[in-house]
A and B are shown apart, each in its own frame.
Chain A
Amino acid sequence: MSEGAMAVVKPEMKSYIWLQTADGSIQQVEEEVAMFCPMICREVLQTGMGSSKNYAIVLPQRVNPPILGLILDYCRFHQVPGRSNKERKTFDERFIRMDTKKLCELTSAADSLQLKPLVDLTSRALARIIEGKTPEEIRETFHLPDDLTEEEKLEPLRNITDDPRIRLLNRLYARKRKELKEREKLKSVEVEEERVDERSVDDLLTYINSGDDKGVRANKSKKKNRRRKDPLKDALSNKANGDHEDLEAVPTACSHSEAKDLEVATPHKALKLQDFPLGTFSPKLEFDDSYMDDDLDPAMREELDREVEDFARRLNPDWPERIQEILCLDRPERKLLPVHINGTSSSCACISLDRR
């Protein structure tokens, strides 16, 4: 009778804290759950806020209602003192299963509420997501813009390995840059001629590609080439008008599904390239017999070719297919270099092969 009445927990005996999220909505949360967050705890103790709807604690910007719900779930579980470590761990493992976007928001929100155990948990989960992925996969997962120039991508590697071949490539690169700069200065923009040139380049491509057994990919690159007509006008017209008819290209070892073109040398061009979304660049590569001024004999050059290819192979898992396609594009008579499949994942560099 009276015992039964006393067994009912009267609502007013449980105390609640009022929280307001960034969008203005206010909710009440059990006190012991909310106090698990250091930031809320401090607010309550220092300013006395949160005791009623009108005096709700304003949560930081990064905490929106759904994320707050997740955080409170976490707090609700962990603030119970009697749980074993194993129970907590199991809960954490299950709790952390969510899509990446939510995970990042959760990390951010937990950090703003100074809930360190949750920050550690989410950081660990994010690290696990990043670990072992190629840069491209990471960019895709986190929607990162691929806004580094080829040169910039090369820089870290240049320093880290101190590879003489990389230094050589950079020298070639720099020289190419200089040349392009000069050509630009001389060239005036002539639209019709360039169009004609463009088409001839395309024809050339078609001709080359039609003889290629990797026709599919080559066709793709042909299409992209068309789309990218305008900014490449200058460069392509330069080439078309120049002595050489081969195309310039940069196979990137940073495992882009499509490699970018070389013309990132000048800031002007670099800007333009960045306007373009991924996937519109075509892989083109040229090998030149008269590579460089450095008095390299053909044997050395061959070895360099091989070393560069080996180097890029180690960096780029797509490399075997890429090199086949590239070599086929360029000279049908050039022998295919032996390509070894290597299981290493791509790393932080790309190389540029250019020609004079």
Chain B
Amino acid sequence: MDDLISDLPQSILESILTRLPIRDAVKTSILSRKWRYKWASITELVFDDECVSSSHDGNVVEQSLVKFITRALFLHHGPIHKFQVSTCYLQSCPDIDQWILFLSRDSDVRELIIKLGEDEWVRLPSCLFNCKKLTHLDLSCCELDPPPRFKGFSCLRSLSLHRVLVAADAIENLIWSCPLLENLALSYFDDSLAITIRAPNLKYLYMEGDFTDIFLENTPLLLSLSVVMYMADDVAEHFELEQSSNCNFVKFLTRVPRLVSLAGRAYFAKYLSIGDDPGPLPITFDHLKIIELFEVSFEDMKEVLVLLRLITSSPNLEEFSISAGESTSPAEAPDSLDIWERECPADWAFKQLKVVKMTDVNGIPHEMDLVKFLLGSSPVLKTMTISPSTYFKHDRMVMLIELLRFRRASSEAEIIFLQE
């Protein structure tokens, strides 16, 4: 009866052990003599609530988790490339400082993920910034305070800050000082934030939260942009009153010519619409394939115009999803209804558009015009899915009749009407 597994190369055993939950990996230490310390040299340590037995008392869980992690680190030998702690039980404990100090000493750690409970904000120690080889930093519910002379993480590729307490200029400097940064996610900063992003290698940007202003100053390589922009109502009104001629839309989107995917929710469309209409854009988004815009207010002429400008600057659009915000006022006066004919370039065609999804449709004239425009200018359209809004109950038949009449450029187009 030969031993089947203990003599496999260390790299394979490591590969197996890192795929086990850390608790099972540690348990292999009593399998046999050869296995005694195999777990101790794995390079990835991932700790979560599963590491310790559950209990009704959160304090008990916290204590046993702290003990487990500390002992595991102590017994571990060799480089640690990935260290992850995801738990809601560790509220605010000095042990985290020790762990990060331990990791920063050898400064081999490449991926650091710390996700803590939401009740107390742990202030991460400054030795975190000594981890020179970090490529991936993911923090959640903690406080960050970069030291004044911090030069940046020269290898950092991916940064994710969720509910992190940090000053706006500190974030901006952090982003700017990481030259290789490709992936950035910022969400839920407590205060409204106006942020400028300078990241010459940035490819993927995700932002969610209360932002008053987002300025993409230097992000020429951006491929994917996803923004969920919450705005307090008074802030939104303040913007409207300001009436700056600077059009946000231009300011925002013309700096990302290589964009492939754009997604905007909440107040994003409104944010873009602030400022004067720029007229037909001088540039086209040749690479833009996917557009998703949610909570667009179809009663607001300016938002509709932004939408129009956006899609008529994206000749290679392949997928388009749009949903209407809540219908706040009855249909606009008919004089604005011909903007689609007026403003759209003649003979415009979406040569690649295959899938369109419209949700929360209310049958508002601008919405119907958009549908008409899309159907008439998409020669390779495959499906258009329309889901009515729950508030829109009475005139569905009217809307459907109108829909039927629209000319379709694509003989293969299916219009799928989704009832609840």
Q: A residues touching B (Cβ–Cβ < 8 Å)?
A: 100-101, 104, 107-108, 111, 119-120, 123-124, 126-127, 130-132, 135, 138-139, 142-148, 152-153, 156, 159-162, 254, 314, 344, 347-350
Name 17 A/B residue pairs within 8 A (Cβ), A-sorted: A111-B9, A111-B12, A126-B16, A130-B16, A130-B20, A138-B31, A142-B5, A143-B1, A145-B32, A146-B32, A156-B26, A159-B71, A160-B67, A160-B68, A160-B72, A348-B28, A350-B30
B residues near A348, Cβ cutoff 8 Å: 26-30
Residue B75 contacts which of A101, A124, A142, A156 (CB distance < 8 angstroms)? A156
Contact indicator B67/A347 (Cβ below 8 Å): no
Kindly identify, within residues 1 to 53 of chain B, every residue whose CB is under 8 Å from any CB belonging to chain A. Answer: 1-6, 8-9, 11-12, 15-17, 19-21, 23-24, 26-36, 53
Q: Are A142 and B11 in contact (CB under 8 A)?
A: no
Query: How long is the Cα–Cα vector from A24 to B222 in the complex, in angstroms?
Result: 55
> Cβ of A131 and Cβ of B20 under 8 Å apart?
yes
Q: In the complex, are the beta carbons of B15 and A123 less than 8 A apart? A: yes
The answer to whether A142 and B24 touch (CB under 8 A), given A127-B19, A148-B30, is no
Say whether B74 faces chain A, with CB atoms less than 8 Å apart.
Answer: yes
Tell me which of B4, B27, B29 contacts A100 (CB under 8 A): B4
Contact A156 B3 (CB under 8 A): no
Question: B153: shortest Cβ distance to chain A, in Å?
Answer: 28
> Nearest A residue to B9 by beta-carbon distance?
A111
Which B positions have Cβ atoms within 8 angstroms of A? 1-6, 8-9, 11-12, 15-17, 19-21, 23-24, 26-36, 53, 67-68, 71-72, 74-75
B35: which A residues are within 8 A, CB to CB?
A: 144
Question: Which of B23, B30, B68 touches A254 (beta carbons < 8 Å)?
Answer: B30
Instruction: Please measure, in the bound complex, the distance between the C-alpha atom of A135 and the C-alpha atom of B8, giving whole angstroms.
Output: 19
Indicate which residue in A104, A135, A161 contacts B30 across the interface (CB closer than 8 Å): A135
**B74 (CB) vs chain A CBs: closest residue:** A159
Specify which chain A residues have a CB less than 8 angstroms from the CB of B36 in the assembled complex. 148, 152, 156
Q: Taking the nearest CB of chain B, how far is it from the CB of A65, in angstroms?
A: 19
Give B28 Cβ to nearest chain A Cβ, in Å: 7
Closest Cβ neighbor of A123 among chain B residues: B15
Specify which of A123, A132, A160 is in contact with B26 (CB 8 Å cutoff): A160
Q: Enumerate chain A residues within 8 angstroms of B32, measured Cβ to Cβ.
A: 139, 144-148
Kindly list chain A residues whose C-beta atoms are within 8 Å of the C-beta of B75: 156, 159-160
CB distance from A238 to the nearest CB of B (A): 28
B5 and A139 contacting across the interface, CB-CB below 8 Å: no
Most buried by A among B1, B4, B35: B4
Q: Which 4 residue pairs across A and B have the least CB separation, nearest first?
A: A127-B19, A160-B71, A123-B15, A348-B30
